[in-house]
Copies of this chain bind each other. A is one copy, B any other.
Amino acid sequence: MKENFVRRPLRPRPVAVAPRPAPPEPGALAAKVRTMAPSMTRSMQRVAETVAADPAGCAALTVTGLAERTGTSEATVVRTARLLGYPGYRDLRLALAGLAAQQASGAAPAVTADISVDDPLSEVVSKLAQDERQTLTDTAGALDLAQLEATVSALASARRIDVYGIGASSLVAQDLAQKLLRIGLVAHAHSDPHLAVTNAVQLRTGDVAVAITHSGRTVDVIEPLQAAFDHGATTVAITGRPDGEVTQYADHVLTTSTARESELRPAAMSSRTSQLLVIDCLFIGVAQRTYESAAPALHASYEALAHRHSPRLR
């Protein structure tokens, strides 16, 4: 056939065509289409326009598909891609996918609107996640590190730790107690106010009592904290209201953030997130300070759980 005609090496991957003026920019594709339009043939224009109009849709098409959709041939599609600065259709398609993703992500601005009764579920999920993220940011930003540090120290060296929480906060209290237990500390969560008080009076100097209440004025939580306070224990309040009554009996106050609450999203929801972040910080802080004993304890409790799981999973 032809011999003196040097067959161009078939698309050595990274090498570009003759000129290198067109780095495949994803964003400025529409502009490129307009710029190049005049120098295109009719069929190519059709292809270019289709592509610019619906990047997402076209990204899903094969050469053949796009050729069909634009009423042209595969060769034309490839030629168009080349003209737009890509080595071939494959790469144009990749750029198209990128463009589509950008458009999609840009089209979803953070809507911090309230969740309403007729929001579709998808909306609920994203709003909720957004709200929680906001709560976390707020809480982390507002946390008083000195107070946190002091609380951690107190916890790490406590002979005994009592945690008080009622209602939604009760779960947080239990979570804290569970975690501390797991690293070998003596911690207990009380949700029965009477028992809580009964136990609180057992506390002494060096022990720690933690009260968790969003409102800062839950009497069932304040009372045991006061009892502990009166008996010389180190007391900590985790609350959304640093001016609440509970802080009167607290040596250290850790403030949780207070998000807007709405009818469908009661305060309990965001306060919980906030409280959990705080106790997680406490936990890790304590684990760091007692690492020598915490690490083996953590492993031990992990081992202990292993056999409670069904044996084989793949």
Contacts and interface: CB of A to CB of B under 8 A. Distances in A.
Interface of A: 26-27, 39, 59-60, 93-95, 97-102, 104-105, 107, 115, 117-119, 121-122, 124-126, 128-129, 132-133, 136-137, 139-140, 143, 145, 148-149, 152, 166-168, 171, 174-175, 178, 215-220, 222, 241, 243-245, 263-266, 269, 272-273, 276-277, 280-281, 284-285, 287-288, 291, 295, 298, 302, 305, 308-310, 313-314
Given A94-B94, A98-B101, A121-B145, 14 more contacts: A97-B98, A98-B100, A117-B291, A121-B148, A121-B149, A125-B281, A128-B280, A129-B137, A129-B139, A133-B133, A133-B136, A219-B310, A220-B308, A273-B276
Nearest to A193: B308
A305 to B, nearest CB: 7
Contact of A128 (B281, B291, B305): B281
Main secondary structure of the interface of A (DSSP, over half): helix
A276 B281 contact: no
Contacts of A124: 281, 284-285, 288
Contacts of A281: 121, 124-125, 128
Given A136-B129, A137-B133, A243-B314, A288 B264 contact: yes
Contacts of A217: 309-310, 313
A274 B246 CA distance: 30
Contact of A272 (B175, B219, B314): B175
A269 B281 CA distance: 11
Given A288-B119, A313-B245, A125 B104 contact: no
Nearest to A216: B313
Contacts of A115: 284
17 contacts: A26-B104, A97-B97, A98-B98, A98-B102, A121-B281, A124-B281, A129-B136, A129-B277, A136-B136, A167-B178, A168-B175, A243-B314, A263-B295, A263-B298, A266-B298, A266-B302, A272-B276
A134 to B, nearest CB: 9
Q: Which of A59, A272, A284 has the most CB of B within 10 A?
A: A284
A100 B216 CA distance: 36
Nearest to A171: B171
A140 B129 contact: yes
Contacts of A149: 121
A59 to B, nearest CB: 6
A124 B288 CA distance: 10
Nearest to A313: B217
A152 to B, nearest CB: 7
